[in-house]
Amino acid sequence: MSSEHLLTFLWLAWLVWLVLAATALILERRSPAATLAWLLALLFLPYIGAAVYLLLGPRRLRRRRLRYDRARNRLVQSASHRLRQDEQTPPGFPDTALEQQLALLLKRSGQGVPAAALDIHLLETGDACFQAIEEAIAAATHHIHLEYYIWQPDGIGTRLRDLLIEKARAGVQVRLLLDAIGSNRVNRRFLKPLEDAGAATAWFNPISVARLRPTQLNFRTHRKIVVLDGQIGFIGGINVCDNHSSFSSSENAWRDTHLRIDGEPVHRLQFIFLEDWYFATDQAPFELAFFPPFSEESQSRFWLQLLESGPDNTRHAISKCFFAMIAGAQHQILLTTPYFVPTEALTAALITAALRGVEVRLLVPHKSDSRLVTAAARSYYDELVSSGIKIDEYGPPMLHAKVLVVDKKIAAVGSANFDNRSLSLNFEIMATIYNEQIAAQLIETFQADLKLARPYVKPGRRATFGQRLFEATARLLSPLL
């Protein structure tokens, strides 16, 4: 074959592949912006775009959805008598319109009805969070379940691992589930002492070089979950690493928010962990002690709904929760997020809320750990500020908290960022809390964080052409971030 014929063949092969890939993208029914972004990448970056698409683009999750369905069915059959199955919101739940409608929306999105926690503790520094988790682990007598996106084999990670080794040797069941990308610095040598002590470890969506599949890279568990004896749970934004500790990172320690939850909502947290464990291991261990009973008389009025979302289903409960909270707000919206790359719907909800007179304040990092995400975020700021939204840029250090507080009475805290990756691609978890006391504490923290932030001001002519072009390009790629 001559070089001319070879070149013609390659061009035809590329065109056929482009048509097939474009057809697959269109049939996936993503958002128009995401579909167009991928099509442009494939068209104008024929080799780089194709390579990136093959690694990150396809959303072939049918087998994974079936696997999750098997996990859910088995767990529901085993634990249904310990999981709240009410059709209506429980007695004592706030009867105002926003709370009732939000709770109904989340229930119809597959998240169950609100449950009353015995207590909720806010943990707003890494050191306070690690201390609380370590104390709870030390007191555990039956099982310790942990799931993390990032676990580093540094000072904090090693200290926590060694505590788990002690508990495993004492006969406590220990299960540790780590994300294969986020925790890629953890190796076999680090985990072996834990496994030798009797603990079970597993990887979420592990990477196989020999059999690399797109979903291995793109779909991660971004969840941070700890469950102890089925009674105490932790969720939030704090990973297991020295970045969050002021003892290790001094004044550079990341600002973050975590929750300790006591009581009945931990049953759902346990259920979510066991789903993920089954997904990773094809094993769904179940014991009655995983779901201990709680008497109705002992419950306080810390009403809470735990939300899970991920590419395994199309309900997008967390995205719906954010939208409903913002759209339903009457007085105030306070949003803290490290990665602000909103969808068109959430952008419109924020702007509409501000234009109808709601106080909308956004707290973001002055500089996040991703330059591209920072640029994409800033491409939205001018339009938001013009609509009356106040934006403050925190730090340094890095702001990593994910918190939304509405009307001083409803709050959402967890692992999900305000971006497409968290709302569509990652496996995430959030707690929606219907409690004015917790909301007040989070508002107080928001006000304290503002002291370490500075208001964003529209740059106008001060922005160079290069800066504007970079931000515009980053925004174009925002559906892929």
pLDDT at 361: 98
323 within a domain of the structure (yes/no): yes
pLDDT at 161: 98
Between the ranges 85-89, 216-220, 298-302, 313-317, where is the mean pLDDT highest? 313-317
pLDDT at 15: 73
> Are 368 and 305 contacting, i.e. CB atoms less than 8 angstroms apart?
no
Res 7 pLDDT > 60: yes
Q: Is the dihedral of CA 242, 246, 250, 251 positive or negative?
A: positive
Q: Which residues pair with 119 in a beta bridge?
A: 262
261 and 332 co-located in one domain? no
Q: How many CA atoms lie within 13 A of 207 on its CB side?
A: 13
49 and 67 co-located in one domain? no
pLDDT at 395: 85
Res 390 pLDDT > 60: yes
More confident residue, 8 or 320: 320
Residue 119: phi and psi, rounded to 5, are -165, 155
286 and 395 co-located in one domain? no
Res 303 pLDDT > 80: yes
Q: What is the pLDDT of residues 150-170, one digit of tens each?
A: 999 999 999 999 999 999 999
451 and 470 co-located in one domain? yes
pLDDT at 56: 53
Please give the average per-residue pLDDT across 282-294, as a whole number.
87
307 within a domain of the structure (yes/no): no
d(CA 412, CA 404): 5
Q: Is the dihedral of CA 197, 199, 203, 208 positive or negative?
A: positive
d(CA 338, CA 367): 9
* DSSP codes joined into one string, 177-214: EEETTTTTT--HHHHHHHHHTT-EEEEES---STT--H
108 within a domain of the structure (yes/no): no
| % of the chain exceeding 70 in pLDDT | 75
Confidence of residue 287 (pLDDT cuts 50, 70, 90): confident
456 within a domain of the structure (yes/no): yes
87 and 213 co-located in one domain? yes
- Catalytic positions are 222, 224, 229, 400, 402, 407
d(CA 163, CA 249): 22
More confident residue, 250 or 339: 339
84 and 184 co-located in one domain? yes
Please give the average per-residue pLDDT across 254-279, as a whole number.
94
* DSSP codes joined into one string, 345-409: HHHHHHHHHHHTT-EEEEEEESS-S-HHHHHHHHHHHHHHHHTT-EEEEE-SS-B---EEEETTT
39 and 72 co-located in one domain? no
Quick one: tokens of 285?
């261990």
- CATH number for position 227: 3.30.870.10
Question: Which of 271, 302, 333 corresponds to the end of one domain?
Answer: 302
pLDDT at 44: 59
Expressed as residue numbers, the domain containing 15 is 3-56
Q: What is the pLDDT of residues 103-132, one digit of tens each?
A: 999 999 999 899 999 999 999 999 999 999
> Are 389 and 279 contacting, i.e. CB atoms less than 8 angstroms apart?
no
Please give the average per-residue pLDDT across 209-216, as a whole number.
52
Number of structural domains (the chain) is 3
121 and 202 co-located in one domain? yes
435 within a domain of the structure (yes/no): yes
107 within a domain of the structure (yes/no): no
Res 76 pLDDT > 90: no
Q: Which residue has the tokens 């979950």?
A: 225
Q: Give the pairing type, strands 428-434 and 302-309.
A: antiparallel
pLDDT at 78: 60
Res 217 pLDDT > 80: no
430 within a domain of the structure (yes/no): yes
Lowest mean pLDDT among 228-232, 237-241, 425-429: 425-429
Please give the average per-residue pLDDT across 225-239, as a whole number.
97
d(CA 62, CA 230): 31
CB neighbours of residue 214 within 10 Å: 15
160 and 74 co-located in one domain? yes
Between the ranges 25-39, 376-390, 466-480, where is the mean pLDDT highest? 376-390
Residue 290: phi and psi, rounded to 5, are -70, -25
Q: What is the pLDDT of residues 437-464, one digit of tens each?
A: 999 999 999 999 999 999 998 765 556 6
Res 62 pLDDT > 60: no
pLDDT at 32: 65
Q: Which residue has the tokens 């592990």?
A: 206
Please give the average per-residue pLDDT across 256-266, as a whole number.
96
52 and 74 co-located in one domain? no
8 within a domain of the structure (yes/no): yes
pLDDT at 451: 96
Please give the average per-residue pLDDT across 6-22, as a whole number.
70
43 and 166 co-located in one domain? no
Question: Which of 20, 35, 56 corresponds to the end of one domain?
Answer: 56
d(CA 253, CA 125): 9
More confident residue, 31 or 61: 31
Res 14 pLDDT > 80: no
Lowest mean pLDDT among 277-286, 324-333, 403-412: 277-286
Q: What is the dihedral of CA 147, 291, 275, 69, to 10 degrees?
A: -170
pLDDT at 279: 85
Phi-psi region of 236 (alpha: psi -120 to 50; beta: other; left: phi over 0): left
Mean pLDDT in the chain? 85
Q: Tell me the whole-structure pTM to 2 decimals.
A: 0.85
Q: What is the pLDDT of residues 320-356, one digit of tens each?
A: 999 999 999 999 999 999 999 999 999 999 999 999 9
326 and 391 co-located in one domain? yes
Question: Which of 270, 302, 334 corresponds to the end of one domain?
Answer: 302
Please give the average per-residue pLDDT across 410-431, as a whole number.
94
